[in-house]
Amino acid sequence: MWLSETDTLTVPQHASWPRALLRRWAVRAGLLLAALAFAALWAYPLLGFLLSAWMPHVLQGDLRMTLAPLRQAAQGYALHALWNSLWVALLVGALALPLGAWLAWLRVRTDLPARGWIEAGVWLLLIFPDFFLASGWMLLAAPIGPLAHWPAALRVAQLLLGPAGIVITLALKTMPYVYLVTQGSLQNSSAALQEAARVHGLSRAWRLRLALAALLPALAAGFAIAYAESLRNFAVVATLGASSGFTMGTYA
């Protein structure tokens, strides 16, 4: 039978099911390949790294468990380095927190004419590599450096080639994180609460208490970031701690 130009050919509905089935299987195969790639490139190395604390040779196929690596980390040299990491990170957070919060307050809640330079300085500290700051201390403390003709200043600079310099450098390096978190919180909150407290005659201490209560989540987040960044830092510790023999978890 001949079909005219205006006639249409009706395809049975059941004729399209093989194509839908193939499409469904193609999607499943793609997801399976993506999962295998994820497991091979990310999950397997990470899991092997975590399990190596109990199975030192797990990546070589040896599944025997032992607590020897944990016992080694809990005594002697390794334990001393881990302890140094903990108290250094606490001091860094304690220094970076008030400094970053204070600079953020000056930037957002005051009308200082040069407050734009605060932002520039914070970003400069953030983008500079860690070892730049540490290398600056090394150059200042060098016996033939710029302080060679000022023995008193040179002795002070050489005191920074150790825990003190590490804490100060890491505090300066992590302060921008506290600043940015606090700045965002201040920008998203209204100053009306402080104005109302001032109008109602609350003391400066009470106004500060109200401000800290409102900023508590941001301050806690900033401290946590500074603490974590200090624990994972290697460049500053390796540069300033090598000459004094000071070790941390990342450089032991």
- Specify if 83 maps to a domain: yes
In a 3-state reduction of DSSP, which class is residue 67? Answer: coil
Q: Are residues 25 and 149 in the same domain?
A: no
Predicted confidence at residue 140, as pLDDT, reads: 80
pTM: 0.71
The yes-or-no verdict on residue 12 having pLDDT over 60 is no
User: In which domain, by residue range, is 172 found?
Assistant: 75-241
- What CATH number is associated with residue 213? 1.10.3720.10
Q: How confident is the model at residue 1 (pLDDT cuts 50, 70, 90)?
A: very low
Q: Among 166, 138, 172, 167, which Cα is nearest to 237's?
A: 166
- Specify if 204 maps to a domain: yes
Residue 106 burial (CB < 10 Å; 0-12/13-18/19+)?
A: middle
The domain boundary, picked from 69, 86, 109, lies at: 69
| CA 128/CA 236 separation, integer angstroms | 12
Q: Are residues 161 and 101 in the same domain?
A: yes
- Specify if 1 maps to a domain: no
CA atoms in the 13 A half-sphere facing the CB of 29? 6
What 8-state DSSP symbol labels residue 15? Answer: G
pLDDT tens by residue, 51-102: 777 777 776 777 777 777 777 767 777 788 888 899 999 999 999 999 999 9
Torsion sign, CA atoms 44, 58, 71, 239:
negative
The total number of structural domains in the chain stands at 2
Q: Are residues 24 and 139 in the same domain?
A: no
Mean pLDDT of the chain: 80
Q: What angle do CA 175, 176, 179 make, to 5 degrees?
A: 90
- Specify if 130 maps to a domain: yes
Q: Are residues 51 and 81 in the same domain?
A: no
Q: Are residues 139 and 40 in the same domain?
A: no
